[in-house]
Structure 1
């Protein structure tokens, strides 16, 4: 799992064919997280509602993930990580392992340093909810002041619980989750609208910030620091030398793992953990097509070092979005990672 990730737009520089064209792509980093799972072994016939699993069983899952994740990060073993991680977070972190060699030494050291999940809050739904997942909020042991918290989701993959979603965000970005008198959270159908949008409609709407600068999305989602950053990426896409000889565009894409997770909030709204994806295409302008090629940046070359007239980068990501009972949804946090370049 990653401690933190930010998506930034690449800056490209033109060089004639003989010398090549170089590109400079910004760094997006991730850090730790991992576990395998055990089911709650103690079914009961009591009339008291039962959770999907006990807190003790959830703790064991998170502890196992934590241990395996730290070992996998230390040596960048994607196969080992895959025993405890799946979904969007695995797409991102498997790419981290490939990109690791391109990172600054300080960032490499931080990434491989073991850490633990502290001050955990287990968000367990009742067994009667029909869902197969639970969530956890926590802070990292390397953040003693608790300035940021993670929101992670563990879902059944086969017969094993694996971490499938994970974001590190400002503590204020996780609204109060509703719990019943037994301490269980209430999962929400992602296809059910909350106001004008349903949780599973958010991703398609959000990607418009990258595609058009938000011509459609800005009418449906409230402005937040996250949306403003995405709009700025769109505005900056053709800045600098690269804009004189190439054109960069973004296109919405299907998330590798489209499942959306949603929880009822204490105020009646809904918190959604949403998979996101888009591609970024940089193409030489017609005047340069016959005489120049693009040499991929160091990060892009990890996936494909071939000089070419078009560079297409694939980003997989995830976000935390609040859907209030009234008003527009708020995107609190968004993380992308470069997972392929061709």
Structure 2
């Protein structure tokens, strides 16, 4: 997972609820005492109290998983070892972070130095589902040690990949606008089926809808998703796509793409809505205008050249992303946080 200082473009946040139940604790069995040979109350045994439900894992086990990730992540970041990182990371976040390693040489010296310094996840709040939910993932929010003022929080999901829990999605947020996550009396969260509609959309429908902001400026998406700073920024990118000198000799367009890892993670909010972590993806195509086709070639940018430095008539860039989206019971879903990374250029 990248440091908060290297991916600062995300918005708003989450009020987390700490996990407090002791998974696996069983209540004592209470029996009515009788003297030998007595028949009193033998036909009416005292009721048993139900054992407390178990969590997917204990808070101590979750903390160990996060500690291991933190240590390995820091070592991998220091030397940009994607294979090492892959032992503790997968999913969309790995698509982005392994691309970070490739793009590292194009970053300013100050940003490189910050990225390679070790950091820790402070003030953690674990969001653990009950074992009975069938979910194989848990979440955690935390503050990074390189943000002493506590302006940002991370929301991270660890899912079971094979036999190992790995970080699969992670976004930075400022914890101000998202309602509190719902927990039961044992402190467990309530995972939600991503295919189940919440109001007008299901969590697993968000990605395809959102990419319309890049493809058309939101002709369809603006009617289905609420206007937020995140959607406004996406529309701005669409509007300026052909500005500048490059727009005189080339045309740039965006196309929705399939996320590399399509799994959506959703959990219930205290107000009855749903919070979803959604994978997103699109391609960006820059193509020479017909009048320039026979005589010119496009030179890749410094970042694009990392993946392919051949001059060409068409440059196609692939972006893989993640988003935090709130789906209220009524009204349009709100995209609170969104992040893309260039992962290929051809």
Larger radius of gyration: 2
Equivalence for 2:152 = 148
Does 2:246 correspond to 1:209?
A: no
Report how far residue 326 of structure 1 moved: 1.0
In structure 2, what is the Cα distance between the partners aligned to 1:341 and 1:215? Answer: 27
Q: Distance in 1 between matches of 2:73 and 2:7?
A: 21
Q: Following superposition, which runs of at least 4 residues in structure 1 exceed 2 angstroms of deviation?
A: 3-7, 42-46
Look up the SS of the partner of 2:276 in the other structure.
strand
Are residue 248 (structure 1) and residue 252 (structure 2) matched?
yes
1:2 maps to: 2
Q: Which range moved further: 174-183 or 79-88?
A: 174-183
1:52 aligns with 2:69: no
Q: Which runs of 5+ in 1 are unaligned?
A: 8-27, 30-41
Aligned counterparts, 1:175-254, within 5 A = 175-254=179-258
How large is the Cα RMSD of the aligned pairs? 1.6
Mapping of 1:13-92 within 5 angstroms?
47-92=51-96
* TM-score w.r.t. length of structure 2: 0.87
Aligned-pair CA distance for 1:173: 4.4
Do the aligned residues in 1 keep the contact of 2:90 with 2:167 (CA within 8 Å)? yes
Tell me the alpha carbon deviations over residues 50-105 of structure 1, each in whole angstroms, 9 at most, x when there is no partner. 00000000000000000000000000000000000000000000000000000000
Q: Deviations over 1:275-315 (max 9, x none)?
A: 00000000000000000001101110100011100000000
Alignment equivalent of 1:119, drawn from 117, 123, 127: 123
Residues 24, 52 of structure 2: 8 Å contact kept: no
SS in 2 for 1:172: coil
Q: How far is 1:179 from its partner?
A: 0.3
Corresponding residue pairs, total = 310
Partner Cα distance (2:261, 2:194) in 1: 14
Deviation at 1:170, TM superposition (A): 1.6
Question: In structure 2, the residue corresponding to 1:182 is in which secondary structure?
Answer: coil
Range 110-119 or range 224-233, more displaced: 110-119
1:338 to 330, 333, 342: 342
Please name the residue that 2:45 is paired with. none
SS in 2 for 1:287: helix
Distance 1:288 1:247, change over 3 A: same
The SS at the match of 1:171 is: coil
Q: Distance in 1 between matches of 2:121 and 2:135?
A: 24
Q: Deviations over 1:247-278 (max 9, x none)?
A: 00000000000000000001000000000000
Q: Determine if contact 1:6/1:336 at 8 Å carries over to the other structure.
A: no
Match of 1:35 in 2: none
User: Unaligned 5+ residue runs, structure 2?
Assistant: 11-22, 28-50
